[in-house]
Amino acid sequence: TIALETLTWNAIYAFFFFGSYIFYICVISVLSNMPQLYPVYYGVSNQILGSLYFWMHSILIATIVFSMELVFKSVRLTWLPNNLDIAVEIDRGYNTKCDIGMLNSILMGEITSAGNEETGRSDLLRAERQEEEHTQHTEGASL
């Protein structure tokens, strides 16, 4: 799941991401081949790492977990995005039909109906009209 949250992959990140799995297998292999430290587990890694069932289960479980995480993330981004998700989409250029003024009003909490674009625009227009009327009224009263 950490691979989904990473915005850019570089050599250092890839080294530690994949290196952690290789390190785990190496530690298990070394520790299970030391009979003086772990006599009960002597030779277990040779049997486990040589088993097709171990590798198939490891790949299958990782694939299922990754698929579920991908589905949950896409559902959240599609129907329940938060302010950060919206900002990331705009920054990456995924959302080309974006009214920055309306988005700013939504993020600042000035428009309550952020889910419906038409209602949000009408609320924004209504707020602008009320502000203009208030400005005209205060200018007329001061004269």
> Which residues does the chain have with pLDDT short of 70?
1-7, 95-143
- Predicted pLDDT at 41: 83
pTM of the prediction? Answer: 0.51
For residue 89, count CB atoms less than 10 angstroms from its CB and return exposed for 0-12, middle for 13-18, buried for 19 or more. middle
C-alpha dihedral (4, 6, 11, 17), degrees to nearest 10? -50
* Cα separation, 12 vs 15, whole angstroms: 5
